[in-house]
Chain A
Amino acid sequence: MIELEGLTKRYGTKIAVDHLSFQVRPGVVTGFLGPNGAGKSTTMRMMLDLDNPTSGTVRIDGKHYRELQEPLKYIGALLDAKAMHGGRSAYNNLLCLAQSNRIPASRVGEVLDLVGLTPVARKKSKGFSLGMGQRLGIASALLGDPEILMFDEPVNGLDPEGIHWIRNLMKALAGEGRTIFVSSHLMSEMALTADHLIVIGQGKLLADTSMADFIQQNSRSYVRLRSPEQERLRDVLHANGFIAIESGNGTLEVDGATTEKLGELAGANQIVLHELSSQRASLEEAFMQMTAGAVEYHAHGTDVHGAAPAPGPRWGSISEGD
């Protein structure tokens, strides 16, 4: 469990993180979303006590990070795939970390095996590809077998098999009751991974909700129906106060209803249905709707090429990593 309370970070006059309060709960994968410059990386660094908050607190299982005995046993983090010494072998990089937290050296071999780096364990990590660096970072996060795991853009540089693997790993870890906090820019990937979402924009909390609720609240959802008795179905729906829109191919769309309700209705009226499915927008669409107001640069978009508005962010935070 991670708890943030009024977390704020100012750089001079610019507020990167603005009174952020939320909890990351165990047992589910919590996705952390936000446009570039929203303050995601700063928040994650403050959670690990790498950056000092201007005000507010972060608690890990009720404690401040600096009070943790051997923190790697509580919380593991993948922040930056390249946060290792390139001149040291993968094995030795992990060994240093293990020793500092009194984790047995045998665990190093275990996590290397787990991420599939055993064949290159003795190779210097500077020769690693981005994907291999990412795996090494994941290994370091798992080293202390912690109850809390944080991943910043974990699929960066991984190939499809790697992406598939890390997704299932995160779900499995959450399934064991661990707290998983993961940031990503890939909405389609996040939709497959996260159960719960925390969305920030301009350093402020925009949403703290389940994936399903988030999509429902931020986009249109409706039920799609197909039936060999379309006319009768429409009449029945109409008689019960539902508005059915015909959308071609013999399908009807009904807003503001659940499949359960419509299924019962069809059953009661002895109407055969060939499809009864609820349709939701994508996470991406919901995210775009939600952040439309909060993205710094929307007013700024210029349509030069006639293409979709080219996002022209004020690259004010060039060095910011997220």
Chain B
Amino acid sequence: MIEAVGLTKRYGAKTAVYNLSFQVRPGVVTGFLGPNGSGKSTTMRMILGLDRPTSGHVTIGGHPFRQLPNAPRQVGALLDAKAVHGGRSARSHLLSLAQLAGIPAQRVDEVLGVVGLQDVAKRRSKGFSLGMGQRLGIAAALLGDPQVLLFDEPVNGLDPEGILWVRNLMKKLAAEGRTVFVSSHLMSEMALTADHLIVIGRGQLLADMSVTDFISANSADFARVRTPQTEPAQREKLTTTLTEAGGQVMSEPDGALRVTGLPLPRISDLAHDAGVRLWELSPHQASLEEAYMRLTQGAVDYRSTDDRLAHLQAPLQPGQPGYGMPPQQPTAPEVSQQGWYAPPPPGQNPYAGTPQAPAQSPYAGAPQPPAQSPYATPQPSDTTKDAR
């Protein structure tokens, strides 16, 4: 259990973290999200006693990190994959850490096996790829068999197998009753891994809730409806019927309709009454990414996210090669191509045991503004980090 109370950190005039209070509970994977420069790293460093809070405090299992008896056996952290002496072998690096904490040497070989580095244990870590460095960092975090684990961008540099492995490792550690706190920029990855989310922006708490609640609270669910392609009249008829019943209907690039504001059984009944046959009627939940974008819009440093992001929406290109879509009907406003390529629906990943957000990103937003430069970009907040 990690507990922050009124945590605040100021660097001169700039407040990096302000009055942050949250708890990271054991037994679940807690995701830690926020735009660049929002204070995530500073918060993690304060949890680990590397930075001192200006005010407030953060404790692990009831003690501030620096007062923990034998901290390495209680808390494991992966902060920076390259924080290793490059001239040392992976094994001797871990061995030196183990000796500091009074951990038996045999445990070193155990964790090397767990992260799959046993074959290169004797090699200098200087020649390691980013992915291998990441594995070594994870090995170091696991060394003391700690109850509390912190991971900062753990999948950086890993290949698909590695990513799957880290995800399962984190879930397993949580299932063993440990406290697992993970930060990441990869929303689609986070959606598969985390059960609970803590989101900060401009150093302040924006959300502290389960992933499912977070998505529901920050985005709209919708239904995807398709009518027989052979009869365009049915599509128009259904659009009219649904709109009259109070639903919002938009057209997707492949000819399907995106309906918000009506539950599925109601859509079904309306279609039935209107004599329209359905070829598809599927429920969709917005993606974690979309929910996150909505929540953080105001909180992103140096960015006029509102309209800029709107410009990002790719203009619809009718008849794009490769899509084979039918000509668009003018009756329903179009959804950008963004949401069309509907990847797997929720709950289909056999690797994911927990309720999760769908991996797709249906941008159930308002009708798109007229096409503008698709290149418009948000100001990278990451520029503020080093180059000011």
Which residues of A approach B to under 8 Å, CB–CB?
25-28, 33, 35-36, 114-117, 119-120, 123, 127-129, 131-132, 135, 155-165, 168-169, 171-173, 175-177, 185-189, 191-192, 195-196, 211, 215, 224, 226, 228, 259-260, 263-264, 266-267, 272-285, 287-288, 291, 295, 301-302, 304-305, 307-315, 318-321
Contact = CB atoms under 8 A, between A and B. Distances in A.
Interface in B339-383: 341, 343-345, 348-351, 359-361, 374-383
13 contacts: A114-B377, A119-B383, A120-B387, A156-B156, A159-B380, A163-B186, A175-B320, A192-B188, A195-B323, A196-B322, A276-B279, A307-B165, A311-B162
Contacts of A127: 386-387
Given A168-B312, A172-B314, A311 B116 contact: yes
B118 A263 contact: no
Interface string B251-291: 00000000000001100110010000111111100000100
A28 B172 contact: no
Given A117-B383, A276-B280, A308 B172 contact: yes
Interface stretch (B4-12, B14-22, B124-132): B124-132
B375 A172 contact: yes
Contacts of A33: 160
Interface stretch (B69-77, B107-115, B205-213, B240-248): B107-115
A160 B345 contact: no
Interface string B131-165: 11000000000000000000000011011111111
A27 B323 CA distance: 9
B92 interface: no
Nearest to B378: A161
Closest 7 CB pairs of A and B: A277-B282, A172-B374, A27-B321, A188-B188, A312-B116, A304-B113, A267-B277
B114 A304 contact: yes
Contacts of B321: 26-28, 177
A162 B115 CA distance: 30
Nearest to A135: B380
Contact of A305 (B110, B309, B312): B110
A168 B314 contact: yes
B387 A123 contact: yes
B360 A192 contact: yes
Contact of A116 (B281, B293, B378): B378
Nearest to B300: A161
- Interface-centre pick from B116, B226, B315, B337 (highest chain A CB count, 10 A): B116
A276 B386 CA distance: 51
Given A131-B380, A188-B192, A228-B265, 4 more contacts: A116-B383, A173-B374, A187-B160, A309-B165
A195 B116 contact: no
A196 B268 CA distance: 34
B189 A186 contact: yes
Nearest to B313: A168
Contacts of A307: 114, 165, 168-169, 172
B50 to A, nearest CB: 19
Contacts of B277: 263-264, 267
- Interface-centre pick from B159, B277, B359 (highest chain A CB count, 10 A): B159
A187 B163 contact: yes
B28 interface: no
Interface string B316-336: 010011110000000000000
B338 A319 contact: no
B303 interface: yes
A275 B281 CA distance: 5
B349 A35 contact: no
B377 A308 contact: no
Contacts of A273: 268, 278, 281
A36 B131 contact: yes
A132 B323 CA distance: 33
Contacts of B303: 161
Nearest to B129: A318
B158 A185 contact: yes
Given A116-B383, A162-B380, A175-B337, A310 B116 contact: yes
B119 interface: yes
B176 to A, nearest CB: 10
B233 interface: no
A172 B337 CA distance: 9
Contacts of A211: 341
B117 interface: yes
Contacts of A26: 321
B380 A282 contact: no
A100 to B, nearest CB: 23
B189 A188 contact: yes
A310 B113 contact: yes
A284 B283 CA distance: 22
Interface string B285-313: 00001001100100010010100010011
B350 A285 contact: yes
Contact of B312 (A115, A119, A165, A284): A165
B120 interface: yes
B345 A284 contact: no
Contacts of A311: 116, 161-162, 165
B187 interface: yes
B26 interface: no
B53 interface: no
Nearest to A258: B279
A272 B269 contact: yes
A131 B116 contact: no
Contacts of B115: 310
Contacts of A304: 110, 113-114
A302 B118 CA distance: 10
A207 B382 CA distance: 37
Nearest to A124: B387
Contact of B293 (A157, A161, A287, A321): A161
Contacts of A295: 161
B35 A161 contact: yes
B25 interface: no
A224 to B, nearest CB: 8
B180 to A, nearest CB: 13
Interface string B169-195: 100100000000000011111011000
